[in-house]
Amino acid sequence: MSVTYNFCAGPAMLPQAVMQKAQSELLDWNGLGTSVMEISHRSKEFIALTEQAEIDLRELMSIPANYHVLFMHGGGRGQFSAVVNNFLGKQGKALYLVSGSWSQSAVEEAKKLTCDAQIDSINIAENTNGINQIVLPDLAKIDQDYRYLHYCPNETVDGIEIFDELDSPWPIIADMSSNIMSREIDVSKYAVIYAGAQKNIGPSGLSIVIVRDDMLELPSLPQSSIMDYGLGVKHGSMYNTPPTFAWYLAAEVFAWLKDSGGVVAMAKRNLKKAALLYDFIDSSDFYTSKVCQSNRSVMNVTFYLANEELNASFLKGATDANLVALKGHRSVGGMRASIYNAMPIEGVEALVEFMQDFAGKNQ
Ligand code: PMP
């Protein structure tokens, strides 16, 4: 059977070794004679799994002791409302930086839950001659008392990544759904990091929230108990029945990441994969990138065919070559190759080879 490389933006491919392990122990996990998804979340075996998952995640991301780790429901979007409900109260204000479609969605959700005056936003994506670029504002010049600043360091749809650390006078909340653990970051620079799981962590539905303990003192809005961070901490992310199978797979992905050299090794591999693809795109007149060099996402490589009439035939040819899910998001068109941690370099090599071949035949 020839290998299929799946470039889906999410749910995305998971490490093959993890999927094989899950398959091998699906019917009998840990010698219990039952699947991990059929046992109590409060059983000692499952609790041991969750404890190990947290130890591994803390080690992988060097999470300081004054941060809590939550495994929650609701994916990425669930956290768009949770951060508002947990931290804004009736009076608090927040600043949102808009760099693309996900950070824009976060603003829209925040405005739904508050009065407009509580949410300020600044568009930080500039388009010059068709090229997108991030221009960070001088935050120190803004005379406001925000409870937090929200931003999205990797815009999955647009293929735009912000590599610079923000110099923010307010606590930073980052939506790292599509770049968590893709490279090293200093967690202590953030008040809250959250991520939907379905790219670099595990199956969709689950989300991970890393929250600094002082943030839990802020006044909250009335909200659903299962999205209440304070209750989540108090109940070890088990106020209600958590998505146990997704948690199990996330734990397996963390173990795989550690075995593969951790985030440092992943970051090196990710840079290599991205460079291979971007260098090829830049060397060709047939394909173009619409993102400036300094903001090109290492995880989501968006690109366009110079002749867009060939899009359908490109996608069909790619699928025939077992390179799947390359269609760009419907809002921006073109192509997108999502090359998260689980994508091996061979997948990117196969894609470049196909692109080269397709260009040769259609010049
Ligand atoms: N934020 C980002 C950066 C995303 O990429 C996504 C999903 N692609 C979301 C939020 C929303 O996640 P979910 O679909 O799990 O709600």
Report pLDDT for 116.
Answer: 78
Residue-by-residue DSSP string for 142-205 = ----EEEEEE-SEETTTTEE--SPP--SS-EEEE-TTTTTSS---GGG-SEEEEESTTTTSSTT
| Last residue within a domain, chosen from 259, 289, 321 | 259
Q: What is the CATH number of the domain that holds 226?
A: 3.40.640.10
Q: What share of the chain is helix, strand, coil (3-state, %, to 5)?
A: 40, 20, 40
Sign of CA dihedral 63, 64, 65, 67: negative
Active site residue 189: no
Q: pLDDT-derived band of residue 2, with 50, 70 and 90 as boundaries? A: confident
Q: pLDDT-derived band of residue 137, with 50, 70 and 90 as boundaries? A: very high
170 with 292, same domain: the answer is no
Flag whether 21 is in a domain: no
**pLDDT tens sequence across 171-194:** 999 999 999 999 999 999 999 999
Q: pLDDT-derived band of residue 49, with 50, 70 and 90 as boundaries? A: very high
Residue from 154, 156, 157, 209 to probe ligand 1 pocket by mutation (most atoms less than 8 Å from CB)? 156
183 with 277, same domain: the answer is no
Measured distance CA(192)–CA(314) in Å, rounded: 40
* Residue numbering of the annotated binding site for pyridoxal 5'-phosphate: 76-77, 102, 156, 175, 198, 240-241
Measured distance CA(159)–CA(7) in Å, rounded: 13
**Nearest alpha carbon to residue 79 among 211, 185, 183, 256:** 211
Measured distance CA(197)–CA(177) in Å, rounded: 7
Closest Cα to atom 2 of ligand 1: 177
Residue from 77, 158, 194 to probe ligand 1 pocket by mutation (most atoms less than 8 Å from CB)? 77
CB 48 within 8 A of CB 113: no
- Nearest atom of ligand 1 to the alpha carbon of 76: 12
**Is residue 1 pLDDT above 70, yes or no?**
no
Flag whether 20 is in a domain: no
Measured distance CA(282)–CA(289) in Å, rounded: 8
pTM for this entry: 0.98
* Domain that residue 203 falls in: 28-259
Active site residue 199: yes
87 with 189, same domain: the answer is yes
| Bridging pattern class, strands 146-151 and 172-175 | parallel
Interface confidence, given as ipTM, is: 0.99
| Last residue within a domain, chosen from 259, 287, 319 | 259
Name the token pair of 361: 């035949």
CB 243 within 8 A of CB 205: yes
* Ligand 1 contacts CB of residue 100 (under 6 A): no
255 with 266, same domain: the answer is no
35: number of Cβ within 10 Å:
16
| Last residue within a domain, chosen from 195, 228, 259 | 259
CA angle 174, 185, 252 (to 5 degrees): 90
* Residue numbering of the annotated binding site for L-glutamate: 42
Measured distance CA(78)–CA(302) in Å, rounded: 26
29, 56, 170, 199: the catalytic one is 199
363: number of Cβ within 10 Å:
9
Question: Terminal CA-to-CA distance of the chain, rounded, Å?
Answer: 32
341 with 305, same domain: the answer is yes
Å from CA of 173 to ligand 1 middle: 15
Mean pLDDT of 307-328: 98
Arithmetic mean of pLDDT over the chain: 97
* Ligand 1 contacts CB of residue 270 (under 6 A): no
219 with 319, same domain: the answer is no
* Ligand 1 contacts CB of residue 243 (under 6 A): no
Q: What is the CATH number of the domain that holds 309?
A: 3.90.1150.10
Total domains present in the chain: 2
Å from CA of 88 to ligand 1 middle: 22
Active site residue 102: yes
